[in-house]
Structure 1
Amino acid sequence: MSRATERFFPFEEDFRDPFSRDRDRVIHCGSFRRLEYKTQVFLNHEGDYFRTRLTHSLEVSQIARTLSRMLGLNETLSETIALSHDLGHTPFGHVGGDALDTLLRVDGRGNGFEHNFQSFRVLTTLEKRYKDFDGLNLTFATLEGVLKHSYPYDKPFLPDWVRERFELEKHPSLEAMVVDHADEIAYTSHDIDDGIKYGLIGFDDLMEEPLALRVDAMVREEGVMRGEELYRHRFVAALIKILVEDFIAHSQVRVAPYAREEPLCATLPASEPLPVGFGPEVGSELKRLKKRLFRRLYRHQRIVSKMYAGKECVRSLYRAFSEEEGLLPRAQRELFTRRHPRRVLADYIASMTDRYAMKTYHEIYGISIR
């Protein structure tokens, strides 16, 4: 058995390869199903069209599989990391995690809340599917990819057993690096799609960016003009195509020296540049486009207003559970003997979907989140 396929606990082999088994365990766990009702950018109850954490994870997985296949990497490992990478996200997107982080630090839990590590904890601790141990007993390569994304991940709050096992000063596998970039491709393209659909940003806003102009030229070559209903769909597809093709073209030669049958885990030191990535021109243009989206879309008043309401929901739930433990389900209260009570509260809130968090808030305070 290679290091990549090592697990914490003994298991029985079956007809699946190790990473297929990991993927299946992730897909069938409760945390994965709850992603369907967790915010990506737009609150889930705003409409049925918009992306959620689940649809985002599926889009990342699809792109990661394509990139890995073209680079000769392990496609199933990339798929599994992609499907797992957002399991630790709270309701209401990043603002929910930010709220929990602040609350835990103020409460004396200095390690706070960080969604990468929370995804890792979901896979190793919080999911319960086996009698003899917590977690899903996934392979080293999957867990390392979820923990690190692309880069060394040496955080002061990490427990000693994580430090000892995962060599935090080193990069993860190439498959994990691919997922990190697939994530960037997916959220940039689908946030534009949702933002245009929702009327928060227009194509005129985007056309000041070189990458958007490049995409526009490709769409017009197809005979689809701006203003046509089909244009938005063709724009998003062309953006993904440009980014994927550039990534493959600039990664193939650099990946070749590392090609081998088993994924390379905890091998490349921090001083080594990433063997995968975009070319300098497209990489620079993508950064510019993302900065524009941050200013014009993610900081739009309607988005900020909804996210503030979500953040206040998380704060209020944490306060209520802290003041009255009887509001918690029995299963959560029983965990107080095994984990710090404030961490139990944070884990419980983080596991909630948007709609369940809003429902619980309404039951406690008699006020609806709008």
Structure 2
Amino acid sequence: MLSREERQHSLFSDRGHKPGDSRQAFQIDRDRILYSSAFRRLAQVTQVVSAQEGHVFHNRLTHSLKVAQVARRLSEKLLVQQPDIAADVGGVAPDVVEAGALGHDLGHPPFGHTAEEELDRCAREAGLADGFEGNAQSFRILTRLAIHRIDYYGLNLTRATLNAVCKYPWMRSLIPRSKQQRKYSIYDLDKAAFLFVRPDQNKRQTIEASIMDFADDITYSVHDLEDFYLAGLIPLELLATDRDELNRFITEWLRESSHNYVAKAVKQNPDRFQNFLDATYNLKGQYRPGSFEQKAQIKRISSQLIQNYIHSVSLTTEYGDRGYLQYDRAKEEELKFLQRIVWSYVISNPRLATQRYGQKRIIRTLFEIYLEAIQARDLSFIPARFVREYLDLESRATNGEDIKLEKTRMAVDIVAGLSEAEAVLQYRRLTGINQGSFLDYWE
């Protein structure tokens, strides 16, 4: 039986480096992710709207911290209530679940999903059949790109924690429009690391990954809605009281996704969802917008919803839609309903269209510049932290190895690893829009 505590680079002992370190293996994993520069970068990466908007909206860092908190509490609750089933389905360790949650979004590029799509397009056009995907980039960061010791690449985490990060434990499929083509957690070049995590390459989430995945859904469903409701961008009171507005919302949803089972459920019983909103979020006329009282009420509502969703799931030995989690169908539909509200009123808002156009241009331009520099062996353009890996690639090339795809992947890694402020700064400098300062730090 494979050891859950075995590390990716087992030749290097990570216990005993510091005299008196009493931490257990999974606690070390959690701390390594928390202290990594890849985790700090998330403070300047978009959750839904630009991280530059300030503390009003969640960024990827605050989102990840909240996912970690919800995931840990959910795992603790399941362990207390169903310890035998937890053991039967592979084990539930709160430190592993929390570490998986802290690491699950490390791979998101600057500017969020807009950049993710553009970087995927750039990568595929440059010859990488598996393109770019944020989940696969997270796995690559943890196993390859993050810096921890001079002896190896990556954070040298345990098998259990790396499994907990894998929401989609497979490589990209070439079958058009399949789920495994759209979502995947492993690049082709990282197959060796994946074989360490699960030599049999089975495609089931571990229970710890399923807990993290569910906590992620809870967190962005509730907190993103909270953000945009308080900002006045989502008319929850209107949806809660106006049947015409709700019908318009449902019609648009069905038109875009006619097979969506939640949209069909809303259409069949709109009163149920209207009553849910009315009982939960309808604060119209009760509090002045932005007031202490309104914000306190919203915090209370969000807290109660999170508790409701945490208590709506239990463990099962039968693998299903949410892995080994048994969920309440009605609560699952509520979560999807809340997510769609954010999509309809904020993410698809035309006001973001011009911003997205500029963001795509930044991503494509930077990718092309870095790829050209890598191919031309111009070390002056390659960030210092990538020089060692670049020289390793060149050394292998002199031995006759084909490293073309790895060089292209390096260009992807450089762009994906930028914060949004760094991406804008580098774009302006490299295109001559703003020369910047000689003293600007660039790692």
Interval of TM-score (by shorter of Structure 1 and Structure 2): 0.7 to 0.9
Q: Which residue of 2 aligns with 1:130?
A: 149
Q: Distance in 1 between matches of 2:202 and 2:320?
A: 9
Structure 2 letter corresponding to 1:231: Q
Contact 1:211 1:282 in 2 (8 A): no
Name the CA shift for 1:220/1:323 in 2 (closer, same or farther; >3 Å): closer
The residue number in structure 2 matching 1:225 is: 286
Distance (Å, rounded) in 1 between the aligned partners of 2:309 and 2:132: 35
**1:297-323 deviation per Cα after TM superposition (whole angstroms, max 9, x unaligned):** 111122333233222111111122234
Q: Which residue of 2 aligns with 1:302?
A: 351
User: Cα deviations across residues 174-198 of structure 1 (Å, max 9, x unaligned)?
Assistant: 2221111111111112211222233
| Aligned residue number for residue 278 of structure 1 | 327
Aligned counterparts of 2:335 and 2:214: Cα–Cα separation in 1? 12
Taking only the aligned residue pairs, the percentage that are identical comes to 31
In structure 2, the partner of 1:87 is 106
| Contact residue 222 and residue 338 of structure 2 kept, 8 A | no
Counterpart pick for 2:34 among 27, 32, 39: 27
Which secondary structure state, in structure 2, belongs to the residue aligned with residue 193 of structure 1?
helix
Query: What is the deviation of 1:30?
Result: 0.9
> Per chain length, whose mean CA-contact separation is higher, i.e. which structure has more relative contact order (CA < 8 Å, sep 6+)?
1
**Letter of the structure 2 residue corresponding to residue 185 of structure 1:** I
Q: Which residue type is aligned with residue 279 of structure 2?
A: A
1:274 Cα offset (Å)? 2.6
Shift of 1:272: 8.1
Distance 2:372 2:14 in 1: 45
More deviation, 309-318/339-348: 339-348
Secondary structure of residue in 1 paired with 2:325 = coil
Instruction: Give matches, 1:314-329, under 5 Å.
Output: 314-324=363-373, 325=378, 326-329=380-383
Which of 54, 57, 61 is matched with 1:50 structurally?
A: 57
Correspondence for 2:220 among 148, 164, 187 = 187
Distance 1:129 1:108, change over 3 A: same
- More displaced stretch, 10-19 vs 240-249: 240-249
Q: What pairs up with 1:1-370 in 2 under 5 angstroms?
A: 3-8=3-8, 9=10, 10-13=12-15, 14-72=21-79, 73-147=92-166, 149=167, 152-156=169-173, 157-158=187-188, 159-162=190-193, 164-165=195-196, 166=198, 167-207=200-240, 208=246, 210-211=272-273, 213-214=275-276, 216-218=278-280, 225=286, 227=288, 229=291, 230-235=293-298, 237-251=300-314, 254-255=315-316, 274-324=323-373, 325=378, 326-337=380-391, 338=393, 340-367=406-433
> CA 1:212/1:327 → structure 2, altered by over 3 Å: closer, same or farther?
farther
Give the distance between the partners of 2:324 and 2:310, measured in 1 at CA: 11
Q: Is the 8 A contact 2:363 2:415 kept in 1?
A: yes
Separation in structure 2 between the aligned mates of residue 48 and residue 242 of structure 1, nearest angstrom: 22
Q: Write out per-residue CA displacement over residues 203-229 of structure 1, whole angstroms, 9 at most, x where no aligned residue.
A: 2354247457435425679x9936553
Give the TM-score normalised by structure 1.
0.85
Q: Counterpart of 1:25 in 2: which secondary structure? A: helix
Partner Cα separation in structure 2 for residue 213 and residue 191 of structure 1: 21
| Aligned AA (1:244) | Q
Helix, strand or coil: the match of 1:275? strand
How far is the alpha carbon of 1:361 from its aligned partner? 0.9
- Name structure 1 gaps, 5 residues minimum: 258-267
Q: 2:440 maps to what in 1? A: none
Higher Cα radius of gyration: 2
Is contact 1:60–1:82 with CA below 8 Å preserved after alignment? yes
Change in CA separation of 1:81 and 1:299 when aligned onto 2, cut-off 3 Å: same
Deviates further, 350-359 or 162-171: 162-171
Greater displacement, 2-11 / 134-143: 2-11
Q: Is the 8 A contact 1:31 1:87 kept in 2?
A: yes
Amino acid at match of 1:82: A
Distance across 2 between alignment mates of 1:22 and 1:298: 34
Specify the code of the residue in structure 2 equivalent to 1:176.
Answer: A
Contact preservation (8 Å) 1:219, 1:234: no
Please give the root-mean-square deviation of Cα atoms over the aligned residues, in Å: 2.8
Q: What's the CA shift for 1:236?
A: 5.1
**1:68 match: secondary structure:** helix
Deviations 1:88-111 (A, max 9, x none): 111101111211111010011212
**Higher mean C-alpha displacement, 154-163 vs 126-135:** 154-163
Question: For residues 416 and 144 of structure 2, what CA distance do their matches in structure 1 show?
Answer: 14
The 1:70–1:362 alpha-carbon spacing in structure 2 relative to 1, beyond 3 Å, is same
Shift of 1:365: 1.8
Contact 1:35 1:53 in 2 (8 A): yes
TM-score under structure 2 normalisation?
0.72
Deviations 1:1-51 (A, max 9, x none): 962211122324341111110011111111011111111111122233221
Q: Assess, with a 3 A threshold, how the Cα gap between structure 1 residues 235 and 286 changes in structure 2: closer, same or farther.
A: same
One-letter code aligned to 1:4 = R
State how many pairs are aligned.
Answer: 351
Q: Report if aligned partners of 1:246, 1:282 keep a CA contact under 8 Å in 2.
A: yes
User: Please, which runs of 5 or more residues in structure 2 have no aligned partner?
Assistant: 16-20, 80-91, 174-186, 241-245, 247-269, 394-402, 435-443
